[in-house]
Amino acid sequence: MDEENNNSKIETKAADSSSGSYVTPANSTPVSEIPEQELYHAKSFWTRWVFCQDAKVIGVQYALTATAVGLIGLVLSWGMRLQLGFPETFSFLGPATYYQSVTMHGMIMVVYLLTALFLGGFGNYLIPLMVGARDMVFPYLNMVSFWMFLIAVLVLISSFFVPGGPTGAGWTLYPPQAILPGTPGSEMGIVLMLVSLSLFVIGFTMGGLNYVITILQARTRGMTLMRMPLTIWGIFTATVLALLAFPALFVACIMMTLDNLLGTSFFMPEIFTMGEQLGTTGGSPILFQHLFWFFGHPEVYIVALPAFGIVSDLISVHARKNIFGYRMMVWAIVIIGALSFVVWAHHMYVSGMNPYFGFFFATTTLIIAVPTAIKVYNWVLTLWRGNIHLTIPMLFSLGFIVTFVNGGITGLFLGNVIIDIPLSDTYFVVAHFHMVMGIAPLMVIFGAIYHWFPLISGRHLNQTLGKIHFWISFVGAYAIYFPMHYLGFIGVPRRYYEMYDSPYMTTGVGLNQFITVAALIVGFTQILFLYNIIHSAFYGEKSEKNPWKANSLEWHTPEMPPAHGNFGKDLPVVYRWPYDFSVPGIDREYIPQHVSPSEVPTAKVEKT
Amino acid sequence: MKKKEESFFKLITQKPWEASQAILDNEHDGKTLTDSKARLGVRTVMVVSTVIFSLFVVSYSDRMLVHDWRSLSEPWLLWVNTIMLILTSIVFHRTKILAEKNEIEKVKNSLLVVGFLTFAFITGQLLVWQHFVNLGQYASTNPANAFFYVLTALHGLHILGGLYFWARVTTQLFKENYNISKTKENIELCAMYWHFLLIVWFVLFGLMVST
């Protein structure tokens, strides 16, 4: 259709609507071109709750598995903190166990908790509901994806029980040390870790296929890409990143497994160990670092982008205002995603690579700050003159903004080669990445759970416990990580089991003890949160439908919690984006996405 | 990928809140691309596999430069296998055309030929492995060997994965419980996947022969 013809058609339609003879689109909507999806109807307990093909159940399965393994990660961090804060009092952690705790804590939290929870958990639960689909496009594959994830988790956990224990190579698993004797877990632990990661990648690819194709192809009528909630945009872009980045981890895992088991020298240089020369020659440990970080940096955004998306929706709903600069938010997500593939070597400034290489990567790293800053400004401008309800999801969203800005700014410093080199491998780095990709995404996860719990269970979480949970977690996180920045400045290196009488530790001892106490308190608060979830799931206050008065489709299913097939007999038809809050000209405070223009004829177009 | 209407970049400049855009959007049927979901699924798998193989090629090129690299001399059997794989692709392409013409009996036969040739290829690859093992060329002997084993194994696994779907289509056809248009598409997708693996093999084999 040529441009002019198109325009005139729009004008005639617009004229129709203004003259009052508006044809309700509900009547004029042509029959859907997408045939209704055939759903698998579960017949027994097993197929309904265990080997289930319903994306909502799979989402919950993912979330529960991720949380369970995340609790192990949390307990490991307590062990580490007790060792660092009170090395004399608590001696149950030897150096080997300490390194194993560091490694397993890192890998569990980044891959098996955050990635699985955001994409597997929230992705599965929310994608079909939010785009108006009955289920994912490949439900069987989706089920297999979860079971692959579970097997990956079990393989990982089994490494705690093999001779030599889990690997203690650090979560980056750098060769050659990761597979040499002397590193804890170099016998079986490292192999199980690599196998587990490979399984995770295969399982994730199956899930990722589903997320991407469901979002692209299975949306309901009227749901254009630019009418999707930002949550879906975040999850979509993160999944694309994951599909392209995880292969690098997979490739690195395969080659290192072979180096370990068959004695190949992909990554192993000519090396002496315990006075004997190994058979390997010429391999390049740097190659592993490149592969690992080609996965590792996009991984940061695989975690961050869904968080960006979800928090945008939380802020918009709980401030009763449309998201400021929706298009720019989408562009920022896409640009950040694209840029995340050209910054990986900023993790390798001290690896001895060409300095000009570092200059290039410092530049790209700093460019990412631009779209990221746009997002932060837009969140703040959404709040500006909004009708802010200080609900718990809103509190967590505000906590996220502050924490993310904090961690982001230290990132600007670390992104510069000249500042990174002295700060490299100190507690400053630990503080930075915990703020930006630990605490900040967790704030969003918590906010999202408080927000969507009524949808999932039909009941509210306890508000008092929730407020306690927020304030202790928020203030506690700062009590933990602010002092760590200082420790980094005075030169305390990360990953050290004990500092003994190092000169900088005279000032660091008290700080370390303070951090440990804060970490224990924050940790136990998470147990309180889990208690809240379990208790409220059965005895919580019953929630009415759409308790937050949100517009997106997941709140407008015929039943709450949504039943199998999500939307009853007919799929909803979408007439607007999900951000029509406080629209001028009408007496309704919000207009859900499926409300047709004829039902709100006086609504004015809101400038954005 | 065939675009349904506009490019992705044009789509993300739409202003969904404007009345004129809303009228267009209300007519939107919710699909971004015209391809079926099965085709998109296979294509996505091909993209992910391409990334995996590309990263191996990059690693290969990087590792090759170190002084301890000793090139592998490829046996003639590898050329035979390559020809076998080319034949498989040709037969599969013909199968696809036959399926479009609804000549089901011929399709059945030629699917069996595809299966036979593919198994022959895999057996051939295993014989090459045996050949190298007999020569004492293990994976740990030299990085070139290691890459050879890894790349052929990974390529073989991809083919085995394809054979799983080949087996499903073939049994459906023989049991005669098929939906003709769906089966045609499945055959077409399998053929596409086989062509993809042929191209991957060309790249990998070319890399190994030329260095």
Nearest to A259 by CA among B152, B143, B208: B143
Closest CA to A321 of A373, A378, A401: A378
**pLDDT at residue A60 above 70?**
yes
Smallest Cβ distance to A266: which of B18, B55, B146?
B146
**What is residue A586's predicted lDDT score, i.e. its pLDDT?**
86
Whether A21 shows a pLDDT value over 80: the answer reads: no
Chain A CB contacts of B146 under 8 Å are 258, 262, 264-266
Best of B59, B129, B132 to disrupt the A interface (most A CBs within 10 Å) is: B59
Whether residue B19 is contained in a domain is answered as: no
B23 is a domain residue: no
| pLDDT at B82 (0 to 100) | 96
Residue ranges of A 207-236 with Cβ closer than 8 A to chain B = 208-209, 212-213, 216-227
Find the residue in A nearest to B8 (Cα).
Answer: A225
Tens of pLDDT, residue by residue over A171-230, are: 999 999 999 988 999 989 999 999 999 999 999 999 999 999 999 999 999 999 999 999
pLDDT in tens, B46-68: 999 999 999 999 999 999 998 88
If you average pLDDT over residues A577-592, what whole number do you get? 90
Does A326 score more than 50 pLDDT?
A: yes
Contact A576 B16 (CB under 8 A): yes
Q: Give the pLDDT mean for A261-266.
A: 91
pLDDT at A10: 37
Q: Please check whether residue A408 is in contact with residue A437, taking contact to mean a CB–CB distance below 8 angstroms.
A: no
Q: Distance between CA atoms of A37 and A26, rounded to whole angstroms?
A: 21
Give the gap in angstroms from C-alpha B30 to the nearest C-alpha of chain A: 5
Residue B46 lies in a domain: yes
Domains observed in chain A: 52-228 (1.20.210.10), 555-608 (no CATH)
- In the DSSP assignment, the letter for residue A58 is H
Residue A29, pLDDT above cutoff 50: no
Residue B69, burial from CB neighbour count under 10 angstroms (0-12, 13-18, 19+): middle
Nearest CA in chain B to A11: B20
pLDDT at position A11 over 70: no
Asked, for residue B170, whether it belongs to a domain, the answer is: yes
Q: How far apart are CA A470 and CA A74, in angstroms?
A: 17
Alpha carbon distance A333, A339 (integer Å): 10
Dist. CA A346–CA B194, nearest whole Å: 39
* Whether B139 and A33 lie within 8 Å, measured CB to CB: no
Q: Give this prediction's pTM.
A: 0.92
Distance from C-alpha of A194 to C-alpha of A160, rounded to nearest angstrom: 14
Helix pair A463-489, A440-457: axis angle to 10 deg: 160
Only one residue has tokens 């091909």, namely B46
Q: Which pLDDT belongs to residue A279?
A: 81
At residue B122, the pLDDT reads 97
Q: What is the arithmetic mean of pLDDT over B28-52?
A: 93
3-state SS class at B178: coil
Contact B31 A10 (CB under 8 A): no
- Mean pLDDT score, A541-553: 94
Q: What is the pLDDT of residues A336-370, one digit of tens each?
A: 999 999 999 999 999 888 888 889 999 999 999 99
B-chain residue closest to A201, CA distance: B48
Beta-ladder partners of A276? A273
| Prediction ipTM score | 0.94
User: How many residues belong to chain A?
Assistant: 608
The DSSP H or E segment spanning B172 is helix B143-175
Q: What is the pLDDT of residues B6-16, one digit of tens each?
A: 788 888 888 88
Contact B143 A255 (CB under 8 A): no
User: Does residue B195 belong to any structural domain of this protein?
Assistant: yes
Domain span holding position B174: 37-210
Interface contact A282-B140, CB threshold 8 A: no
Does residue B17 lie in a domain region?
A: no
Residues of chain B neighbouring A287 (CB-CB closer than 8 A): 59, 62-63
**Amino acid identity, residue A534?**
I
Partner-chain residue, chosen from B26, B32, B154, that has the shortest CB–CB distance to A225: B32
CATH number, domain at B66?
A: 1.20.120.80
- Chain A and chain B share a number of CB contacts under 8 A equal to 164
SS3 B33: strand
Looking at the structure of chain B, the number of domains it has is 1
Mean pLDDT of chain B: 91
Locate the chain A residue with the closest alpha carbon to B42. A209
Residue B52 has its nearest CB partner, among A219, A247, A608, at A247
| CB contact at 8 A, A579 and A316 | yes
What digits encode the pLDDT tens for the residues A106-151? 999 999 999 999 999 999 999 999 999 999 999 999 999 999 999 9
* Distance of alpha carbon B148 from alpha carbon B133, whole angstroms: 12
Chain B residue nearest residue A137, CA to CA: B37
- Residues from chain A contacting residue B14 (CB–CB below 8 Å): 224-226
Q: What is the pLDDT of residues A63-84, one digit of tens each?
A: 999 999 999 999 999 999 999 9
Contacts of B44 in chain A (CB under 8 A): 208-209, 212-213, 243
CA nearest A35 in B: which residue? B29
Q: Is the dihedral of CA A539, A316, B24, B6 positive or negative?
A: negative
Q: Answer yes or no: do A597 and B66 touch at CB < 8 A.
A: no
Q: What confidence tens digit (pLDDT) does each residue in B17-32 have?
A: 888 888 888 888 888 8
pLDDT, tens digit (0-9, with 9 covering 90-100), for B189-206: 999 999 999 999 999 999
**What CA–CA distance (Å, rounded) separates A511 from A498?**
14
Nearest by CB: B44 against A212, A326, A608: A212
CA separation, residue B208 to residues A174, B54, B72, B84 (Å) = 28, 14, 8, 18
User: Do residue A284 and residue B66 have CB atoms under 8 angstroms apart?
Assistant: yes
Q: Residue B148: pLDDT above 80?
A: yes
Interface probe, candidates A28, A127, A265, A328, chain B, greatest B C-beta count within 10 A: A265
What's the pLDDT band for A606 if we cut at 50, 70, 90? low
Q: Is the pLDDT of residue A272 over 90?
A: no
Please report whether residue B22 resides in a domain: no
Angstrom CA distances, A570 to A592, A606, B177, stand at 17, 30, 30
Across chain A, mean pLDDT equals: 90
Of B19, B26, B33, nearest to A222 by CB-CB distance is: B26
B12 occurs within a structural domain = no
